[in-house]
Amino acid sequence: MITIIKNGEVYAPQYLGRQTILIIGDKIAKIGNVKVDKYLDLDLEAEVIDAAGRIVMPGIIDPHIHLIGGGGEGGFATRTPEVQLTDLTQSGITTVVGLLGTDGTTRHLTSLLAKARALEEEGITTYIYTGNYHVPTPTITSCVKDDFILIDKVLGVGEIAISDSRSAQPSLHEVAKLVAEARIGGLLSNKAGVTHFHTGPGKEKLTYLHQLLEQYEIPASQLYATHITRSQALVDDAIALSNKGVYVDITCSDDTKEWIEYFKKHGGKMDHLTLSSDGNGSLPQFDEKGQFLGLGVASPYTLFEQMVRTAKSDQLSMEEVFKLVTSNTADVLKLNHKGRLIEGCDADIIILDEEMTTPAYVVAKGRWMVKDGEILVKGTFEK
């Protein structure tokens, strides 16, 4: 199958201007001067999409999503549902990293792995984190290191909870041993080997991560902290960490644009910042005594929505914003074939509509998932 996307304003995510993209199979074969007629004259199946007046960019990578649901902090009835394929593709998301949260008892890593494989069969690219909030953390095999080496989809461990009443309150040394094990597993399997930290609203903020860098032989690139916008003080702490080489992640919400602008204005390292949806995770609310009040469910679409809202900001360039959901995420997760429109990379591409309100076209590994706003591929049990 040959697909040609012509006349689009291409962000790779750096701005390339008006370009033509040639897709052969599941890869980007060429960007630039593509002789369209030459390929149409071949006796092969070929399709041409005219993207004039529209932005063309890499498919979004969501590094933090609850593929089999999350929640449960309010009892069994508050366990959130699984993600469906079109929840992702309609959001322009073509690559995900699934994870567990608070519940490592009724939610299982084997179930998460199976869900990731199912979504991959349905058309997108999937990975998972082994573990959950707690330390010692659950694994599929005997240990975190073995999960990395033996299970192809495991590229990190997380989300490990710190500064949160729901964490296991591990010692610094216990956390250091976990990070080191993930680091070794990543080296031996040629994967990122990152430890992904859930940061709660506690007074310690990101202190553990600063101490890990100061007291242990741990590279900063192995630490990846999320939920950093719970307070201004926490964002300031994340800014300091980013300048030490740690990657930090904003969970998208209504104030994402303002927090990104704050992060940049106050010296945050922009190439070490990513965005995620926390999709299908619970959004629990607690009072000042830690009593559960209620919860909502996070939507994967929030990631696309807040990316676009921020891209329209006069404080940030589109390049800066698009990197937060593409190349920056690919860098921290060491997904060298993702997050960029470069020859040889996977053909994960979205084309925005003229008003930048929705991903009008979505290509995942060379396959049309959404075309001109119409969903072409649905999950096995979606109506």
Nearest to 253 by CA among 272, 279, 232, 233: 279
The pLDDT of residue 295 is above 80: no
Q: Supply the Cα-derived Rg of the chain in whole angstroms.
A: 20
Q: What's the pLDDT score for residue 284?
A: 66
- Specify the pLDDT at position 281: 87
Band of pLDDT at residue 72, cut at 50, 70 and 90: confident
* Mean of per-residue pLDDT scores for the chain: 94
> CA-to-CA distance for 337 and 163, rounded, in angstroms?
34
| Percent of the chain with pLDDT strictly greater than 90 | 85
108-127 tens-digit pLDDT:
999 999 999 999 999 999 99
* Segment 316-344, tens digit of pLDDT: 999 999 999 999 999 999 999 999 999 99
Q: Is the pLDDT score of 99 beyond 70? A: yes
The residue ranking higher by pLDDT, 292 or 29, is 29
Provide mean pLDDT across the span 78-95: 95
User: What does the pLDDT look like over 142-181, one tens digit per residue?
Assistant: 899 999 999 999 999 999 999 999 999 999 999 999 999 9
- The pTM (predicted TM-score) of the whole model is 0.95
Tell me the two tokens of residue 326: 């593409």
Which residues participate in catalysis according to the annotation? 278
Burial of 207 per CB tally in 10 Å (0-12, 13-18, 19+): middle
| Spatial CB neighbours of 52, under 8 Å, sequence gap ≥ 6 | 6, 7, 8
Mode of pairing for the β-strands spanning 93-98 and 125-130:
parallel
pLDDT value at residue 286? 67
Instruction: Give the model's pLDDT for residue 291.
Output: 74
pLDDT tens, position by position, 243-286: 999 999 999 999 999 999 999 999 999 999 999 999 998 776 76
pLDDT of 11 over the 90 cut? yes
Give the pLDDT band (50/70/90) at residue 39: confident
